[in-house]
Structure 1
Amino acid sequence: MTSQTADQLIAAIKEHIAVERFAPGTRLPERTLAELFRVSRTPIREALRKLADESFVEKVDGGGYVVGSAAGQELMQLPEENPEEAGYLRIAQDRLSGALPERFTENEIMRRYGLTRTQLNNILRRMTQEGWVERLLGHGWAFLPTLTSAEAYDQGYRFRILLEPAAILEPMFKVDKKELLRCRQEQMALLDGHLERVSPAQIFDSNSRLHETIAGFSGNAFILDALRRLNRLRRLMEYQKSVDRAASARRCREHLTLIELLLNDQREEAADFMRLHLRDAAREKSAARQMNHPAPSRPDMPDRR
């Protein structure tokens, strides 16, 4: 493996970890990475070994690697300290506000946001994986539809209230304890100070990852697919909202309660708790939106009695 190839592969693995928001301890199978980057397992193994020297990944007993502590520190940077994260959020906000057209070129975005080619490529790869941009045939890019109206956003929450509690009661539901404990670790890290430093995108990713993990336990591929599609659509709407750190901390604590119910196999209670959790979150966000964007005043109506 040449030095240039090694550097490219190391950078690609780092980008993959960042885009997927993998928490420290997430396993990185060599076979999966080799298939993703279309190389053999030998250069993947060498790249992981070099990343381990930086503590970006860590070798585990029995073989293989997991995401390391250095990667976790990098993911928890403040948005203004991470130019890619800041650029990503600015693009999302400008798209929702209507400041960006449906179609765009890479050079236009680079000039507008002061991004390097490498930074923009990383941002576009992330947006593509999240499902809100696509490359056009021939030249340029296009934004895909998202939930941008208040009505559609509320409908999305009502759909989740129907879907996610039902997922817990599916006959094939089975908890993957290792995955659930990983989610618990991430929620605890948010409560332990990270919540004050991370971006809206990182909060959304952590919370949606927990909800999608639970939906995946249902064994019903249609439920998981539906939730993933909805999360892709509502992603930008969430980024636009100002972050209420106190409310976010409250939801983290509720997530920990939900996780404990599932670890104790209290599925009926977990389904009921999920329903209340989503209902309260929907009401809270609807109230916050109305406070930030009150309805326009109307002239007094004549008394028709």
Structure 2
Amino acid sequence: MKSTDNTIARQIVALIQAQGWPAGTHLPAQMLADRLRVSRQPVGEALALLHEKGLLTRERHRGFFTARPLAEPLADIVRGLGLEETDVVTSVYFRIADDLLRGELPLAFSEQLIKTRYGLTSAQLNAVLGRIAGEGWAERKPGYGWEFSSMLTTPDSLLQSYRLRLALEPAALLEPAYHLAPAVIAQCRAVEQQLLAGGIATASADQLHDRGVRYHESLVEASGNRFFIDTIRRVNRVRRLLSYRSMQSRARYAEHCKQHLHVLDLLERERNDDAAEFLRQHLQHTIAALSSIDHILQPPT
């Protein structure tokens, strides 16, 4: 199984989840190639791989379709499909993140710079850049080279992202057509309970981040407001780097899980006003907690 197949397959899985595509959604290879900025051949190979693993269905002369919606945390899906990255790729991914936050990497960079600086093979380079691009903190420039997002280089960026969420998320719960499906409530509740049962200590940074992202995006998606939904997905993509660093301190996570469960209980009872106010307080507490661990958000010296 080629590393490049796995990389593109992971990106396709992430796209299906991020877009909330339901079962039966058509996945044209050219559309995916355009979205992921790669050629059609590796996309076709990745689609075939995901079909073999049961994530997609295939119809003669029509192509590939989603077999089911993806509500689980992305890290859990990837691990279940056997698409995890190698230790080298994961290690270099976090080294690049640290070097970027230190200011030791230019915002505009070439593939050769990354390959040489970190001693990567071509397959490892593609895997690392594929993950970074898929998470939204770097993108290929038109013509030649790559560029990191300038929004990710200071600890205050994470706090700014939370202030945006403080304005948006409680408002989403008050939208007229708001409806959080019972199945989604059950899924979110199960994740929080698993973390309280010991998962906080054992989960990877990826898993903790994806769990939080999926929970809060689920709340906003239930609003049916496409502008809210698009905004929360964008802000979650660009805050990933500093979010990882904040997870070095996990003392606050048990209380976060309990607060998440309380919001779900209120929404299940259709007490949206109370849920919105409690969610506002929850986000304010998180902002205060992040302010208290500013030394962790700073890049290592």
TM range, normalised to the smaller chain?
A: 0.7 to 0.9
Within the alignment, does 1:114 sit opposite 2:110 as a pair? no
Aligned counterparts, 1:242-257, within 5 A: 242-257=247-262
Whole-Å Cα distance in 2 between the matches of residues 66 and 164 of structure 1? 23
**Residue of structure 2 aligned with 1:84, choices 86, 89, 99:** 89
For the 8 Å contact 1:93–1:239, the answer to whether it is kept is no
Q: Deviations over 1:168-215 (max 9, x none)?
A: 011121213333433333333333433323332332222022112211
Q: 1:103 to 1:83 in 2, by over 3 A?
A: same
User: Is 2:108 the counterpart of 1:103?
Assistant: yes
1:32 aligns with 2:27: yes
Instruction: State whether residues 96 and 240 of structure 1, in contact with CA within 8 Å, keep that contact through their aligned partners in structure 2.
Output: no
Match runs of 1:253-272 below 5 Å? 253-272=258-277
> 1 or 2 for the larger relative contact order (CA 8 Å, sep ≥6)?
2
TM-score using structure 1 length: 0.73
Please name the residue that 1:227 is paired with.
Answer: 232
Deviation at 1:147, TM superposition (A): 4.2
Which secondary structure state, in structure 2, belongs to the residue aligned with residue 142 of structure 1?
strand
Q: In 1, Cα distance between the equivalents of 2:6 and 2:157? A: 41
SS in 2 for 1:169: coil
Q: 1:148 to 1:140 in 2, by over 3 A?
A: closer
Q: TM-score, normalised by structure 2?
A: 0.73
Q: Partners in 2 of 1:204 and 1:138 — Cα distance?
A: 33
- 2:165 corresponds, among 130, 155, 160, to 160
CA deviation after TM superposition for structure 1 residue 15, in Å: 5.0
- Give the one of 2, 12, 34 matched to 1:16: 12
Asked if 1:191 corresponds to 2:193, the answer is: no
* 8 Å Cα contact 1:134/1:142 also seen in 2: yes
Q: Structure 1 residues 11, 157: CA separation in 2 closer, same or farther (over 3 Å shift)?
A: closer
2:137 aligned partner: 132
Would the alpha carbon gap of residues 93 and 116 (structure 1) be closer, same or farther in structure 2, given more than 3 Å must change?
same
Q: CA deviation digits over 1:116-146, x for unaligned, max 9?
A: 3223223322322332212123322111221
Distance in 1 separating the partners of 2:239 and 2:269: 31
Q: What CA distance in whole angstroms lies between the structure 2 residues aligned with 1:11 and 1:151?
A: 31
Task: Name the residue aligned to 1:302.
Answer: none
CA distance 1:193–1:282, change in 2 (3 Å): same
- Give me the whole-angstrom Cα distance separating, in 2, the residues matched to 1:155 and 1:73: 30
Aligned equivalent of 1:203, options 199, 202, 208: 208
> What CA deviation, in whole Å up to 9, does each residue of 1:5-33 have, x standing for no partner?
xx97677435533x4696xxx97646237
Q: Supply the AA of the counterpart residue of 2:26.
A: R
